[in-house]
Each structure stands twice: as structure tokens, then as C-alpha cells.
Amino acid sequence: MNRKWLQGILLIGLSVTSLAFLIAGRLEVAVLVMTLLFVCTNAFRYVRMKEEGFDRGAKWMGGMAILFAVLFVIVLFTVVL
């Protein structure tokens, strides 16, 4: 399957999951899934920008992906504990 299709399906799945938890009132889990969504979108942007030769923008998106990955771990520990 095409890489863009897989990315789209993953992003749609995470968005719907986040919305479902938001509607169900599980805000902490919704924030956790949204943080994972931000990790994925920024990582995908990093790869695309790197392929297109936008090195400065790719570096920024890579940093944002790392930042949201760290925040994901923090939120995960907050939700679990």
C-alpha cells in the first residue's frame, strides 16, 4: 500500500480515537492520543521536508516531533499513575 495512504489511515484513526475519548469524557486519554497524533504529524512533516530539501524546516519539525514524544511519555506516566 502507498505510504501516504498508510499515514492518512493512521492519522484518521488517531483523530477518531481522540474524539471518541473526548466525547466519552476521558479527557486524560484524549490528550494522550492527541499528543501521539502530534508526534506522528510532525514526524511525517519532517520526512517530507527532508525529502524536498527543506533542511531548516525539517530540523524544526524533527525537534517538534521529539518534543511531543517526550510530552507523550510524560502524559502516559500521568495517566497510568
Q: Which of 13, 49, 6, 48 is nearest to 34 (CA)?
A: 13
pTM of the predicted protein model = 0.84
Question: Under a CB-based contact definition with an 8 Å cutoff, are residues 72 and 39 in contact?
Answer: yes
Q: What is the pLDDT of residues 1-28, one digit of tens each?
A: 788 898 889 899 999 999 999 999 989 9
b/e for 63-74, b at 16 or more Cβ within 10 A?
A: ebbeebbebbee
